[in-house]
Chain A
Amino acid sequence: MEVVPNKDPQLKTTKPPKSMSPWAMARRKFMKNKLAMISLVYLIILAILSFLAPYITTVDISRVNIGQMKLPPSSEHWFGTDTSGRDVFVRLLYGGRVSLFVGISCTMIILLLGVIVGAIAGFFGGIVDSMLMRFTDFVLNFPFLVFVIVLNAILFGKVGGVGVLIGVISLLGWGGVARLVRSKILSEKENEYVLAATSIGGRPNKVIMKHLLPNVLTTVIVQATILFANMIVAESALSYLGFGVPQEVPSWGNMLSASQQPEVLQDMPWIWVPPAVILVFTILAINFIGEGVKDAFNPKSFR
C-alpha cells in the first residue's frame, strides 16, 4: 500500500516559509541519488546528440558506399563502417533519434490512453467500470509481439513507416497502465476530499483532473519510466526481427539486425556491438532513473 503523500498546497502557507513542498523534497532526494543523476545526465547527453545528429555530422547516412565496406574502426570512421559502407558512429546517432522518438511517443500515447480509461473506469465504477475493464482484459489477452507483427504486416505500405509502428504498439500496450491507474483511483476516491469536491458540485471531469490525478501522478511517473524502457526494447526487438521501422531508416534495432548474418556476427563485432551496448546502457539508465524517482516519492525511505 502506498502512503498518500500530503501535498495539499494549502498546508504550505500555514507552515513556516522554509518547509519544502513534497515535490521539492522529492527533487532533492532524487538529486542526491548519484546513480540516478548519472543516468539522467547520460540520457540527456544521448538525447541531445541524437536529436542534433543532422547538425553534428554532415555524412550522408543513406548513401551506400561500396568503396568503404566493412572497414574496422579507424580515426576516420570511429566505429568502422557496416556492410553497405555506412559509418557506424553516425548511424548510431541517427538510430538513437528514431529509437528514442519511438520510445517517447509510444510512452506518451500509452499513458494518455491508459490514464483516461483507468481514471474513468475507477471514478465512475459500476457498469462503466466493468465494460471498460472487460475491454482492457480483451486487449491484454493479445500476445503483444504477435499482434504488433500481424498489424504491421497489414498496415505496412499503406501508411507511413515509423508512425504505423508507434500507433500499433500504443494501441496494444495501454492495458497495463489502465489497470494500474484504475486500482489507484479506486482506493484514492474513497478519501473525504473527493466527496467534498463532488458535493460542492464539481463535475466529474474536474474532480478527476484536478483532485484525483495529481494524487496518482507519482505512480504514473514511475510507470512511465518502466514503459519508456519497455517501448525502446519493443521497438528494437521488432526492428531486429525485420517488422519494426523500415529497413532503410537507421534505428538501433535495425543496426543490430545485421548480426543475423553469421560473418558479421563472427568477424565484424564493431557493426553490432555499439548499438547493443548503447541500448543496454540506455535501458539501465532509464531503470536507474525509475528507481530513483520511486525512491524520491516514497516518504518512508530515507536514504
Chain B
Amino acid sequence: MLKYTLRRLLGMIPMLLLISIVVFFLALAMPGDPFSGEIDPNNTDPEYIEEMREKLGYNDPIHVQYYDWITGFVQGDFGKSVKYKIPVSDLVAQRLPNTLFLGIMSLVITYCFAFAMGMTAGRRPYTKLDHFIGGFNYMMLAIPSYIAGVFAIYFFSFQLGWFPFNGSVNIAVDEGTLDWWLSKVYHTFLPALVLGAMGTASYTQFLRNDIIDNSNKDFVRTARAKGTPESRIYNHHILRNSVIPLITFLGFDLVSLVNGALITETIFTYPGLGQLFLTSVQASDYPTLMTLTLMFSFIVLIGNLIADILYGIVDPRIRID
C-alpha cells in the first residue's frame, strides 16, 4: 500500500510541472502583460514603463521568467492583483475560508440527505417510496446546477423569503461571535444545498443499490437467523459494508466542488474563490487569474490522487499495476 501511494505521489510531480507550464504559457498568450500589476497605471511615461518592465523581468528569456514565477509561487509570492491592488496571497486568504466553508457545508448536506434517502430507499426496494426517491434523484441529476440555483433563489429567497440570496455573512454582526457563525451558516445553506444536489443524487442511488445487493448476502441471512432486529441489520451490518465503496467518491467530490463553486458562487454572489476567478477573467487580472487557475488544477490533481489512493485501499487488486 505504501509503495502504491508513493508511486502515485511521485507520478504527480511531472503532472504538476506540466500544468504549471501550461498555465504560464496561457497567461503569456493572453492579451496584455501577464504581470502588469506592479506598474503604476497613472504613470504613462514610456521610460518609466520600460524601466519597470526591465525591473520586473519582462525582458528576460521565457524560461527565466517561468523560473522566477514558479519559485515565487512555491514560496507563496503570487504577485500583486491588478484590480484590487493588494497581493494575491492576501486576496486568496480572504476568499479561501468562504469557499472552504461552502464546500464543507455542501459535503455535510450531501452526506446527510444521501444517507437518509439511500437508507430509506435501500431498505424498501421497489416500493412507492423507493420509486419516488429514485425519480427525485433522476430529476436532480438532470437539472444543471445553475438552473437549480436560479429556481432555488426564486422560490426560497423571493417567494418564501426564507433565505438570503447573496453574500456570505451579515456584515452588521461582529466577527467570531456565535451570531456571526449562525449568520454564515444561514447565508451558506442555500448555495451549499444547490452545490451538493448532484452529489446527493449519485450518492443516494449508489448507497441504495449497494444496500440492496448486500441485503441478499449470507451474512445478512445469518444475522436474521440469530434473531438480530431488522433495524440493527440494516443500520449496522449492511450499512458498514455499503459505506466502504462510498469513500472513493470523496476525491471526485473535490473535483466537482471546483467546477461547481464557479457556478454556484456566481449565482449567489457568494464571495469565494470561484467568483474571484470569474471577476479576474473579466478584469484581465492576470496575477490573480494565474494563481487561481493553478490552485484549481492542484485541487483537481489532489482530488484524483485521493480517489486513486482510496480505490487502492478499498480494492487491493488495483494496487498491482
Whether A and B are associated in the same complex: the answer reads: yes
Q: Which positions in A face B, CB cutoff 8 Å?
A: 137-138, 140-147, 149-151, 153-154, 229, 233, 236-237, 240-243, 256, 259-260, 262, 265-266, 269, 272, 276, 279-280, 283-284, 287
Whole-angstrom distance between the Cβ of B141 and the nearest chain A Cβ: 8
In the complex with contacts A143-B255, A149-B281, A287-B142 CB distance below 8 A: yes
Question: Is there a chain A Cβ closer than 8 Å to B36's Cβ?
Answer: no
Q: Which residues of A contact B138 (CB under 8 A)?
A: 284, 287
In the complex with contacts A138-B15, A149-B278, A144-B142 CB distance below 8 A: no
Point out the residue from B139, B153, B277 that lies within 8 Å of A265, measured CB to CB. B153
Question: Is there a chain A Cβ closer than 8 Å to B183's Cβ?
Answer: no
Q: Which residues of B contact A284 (CB under 8 A)?
A: 138-139, 142
A237 & B300 in contact (Cβ 8 Å cutoff): no
Closest to B150 in A: A259
B158 & A265 in contact (Cβ 8 Å cutoff): yes
Point out the residue from B18, B150, B293, B299 that lies within 8 Å of A147, measured CB to CB. B293
In the complex with contacts A146-B277, A154-B26, A237-B263, A266-B158 CB distance below 8 A: yes
B26 & A141 in contact (Cβ 8 Å cutoff): no
In the complex with contacts A138-B15, A144-B259, A236-B266 CB distance below 8 A: no
List which B40-68 residues lie within 8 A (CB) of chain A.
none
A272 to B267 CA separation, bound complex (whole angstroms): 14
Total contacting residues, chain B, CB less than 8 A: 43
In the complex with contacts A153-B30, A233-B144, A287-B142, A143-B278 CB distance below 8 A: no
A36 to B153 CA separation, bound complex (whole angstroms): 32
Q: Which residues of A contact B277 (CB under 8 A)?
A: 146, 149
A233 to B300 CA separation, bound complex (whole angstroms): 20
Q: Which residues of B contact A283 (CB under 8 A)?
A: 142-144
A237 to B138 CA separation, bound complex (whole angstroms): 19
B259 & A279 in contact (Cβ 8 Å cutoff): no
Q: Which residues of A contact B22 (CB under 8 A)?
A: 142
Q: Which residues of B contact A272 (CB under 8 A)?
A: 150
Q: Which residues of B contact A276 (CB under 8 A)?
A: 147, 150-151
B297 & A146 in contact (Cβ 8 Å cutoff): yes
Point out the residue from B29, B267, B296 that lies within 8 Å of A146, measured CB to CB. B296
List which B132-166 residues lie within 8 A (CB) of chain A.
138-139, 141-147, 150-151, 153-154, 158, 165
Question: Is there a chain A Cβ closer than 8 Å to B238's Cβ?
Answer: no
Question: Is there a chain A Cβ closer than 8 Å to B262's Cβ?
Answer: yes
Whole-angstrom distance between the Cβ of B307 and the nearest chain A Cβ: 12
Question: Is there a chain A Cβ closer than 8 Å to B289's Cβ?
Answer: yes
A-B contacts, 17 of them at CB < 8 A, read A137-B15, A140-B304, A143-B255, A143-B296, A145-B258, A146-B262, A146-B277, A147-B293, A154-B30, A241-B146, A241-B263, A241-B278, A242-B282, A259-B150, A280-B142, A280-B147, A283-B144
Q: Which residues of B contact A243 (CB under 8 A)?
A: 278, 281
Question: Is there a chain A Cβ closer than 8 Å to B301's Cβ?
Answer: yes
Question: Is there a chain A Cβ closer than 8 Å to B92's Cβ?
Answer: no
Question: Is there a chain A Cβ closer than 8 Å to B313's Cβ?
Answer: no
A138 & B18 in contact (Cβ 8 Å cutoff): yes
A269 to B144 CA separation, bound complex (whole angstroms): 18
B259 & A145 in contact (Cβ 8 Å cutoff): yes
A150 & B144 in contact (Cβ 8 Å cutoff): no
Q: Which residues of A contact B282 (CB under 8 A)?
A: 242
Q: Which residues of A contact B18 (CB under 8 A)?
A: 138
A256 & B150 in contact (Cβ 8 Å cutoff): yes
Q: Which of A151, A153, A229, A283 lies at the interface centre, i.e. has the most chain B CB atoms within 10 A of its CB?
A: A153
A127 to B266 CA separation, bound complex (whole angstroms): 44
Point out the residue from A150, A242, A265 that lies within 8 Å of B26, measured CB to CB. A150
B304 & A241 in contact (Cβ 8 Å cutoff): no
Closest to B282 in A: A242
Point out the residue from B147, B263, B297 that lies within 8 Å of A141, measured CB to CB. B297
Q: Which residues of A contact B19 (CB under 8 A)?
A: 138, 141-142
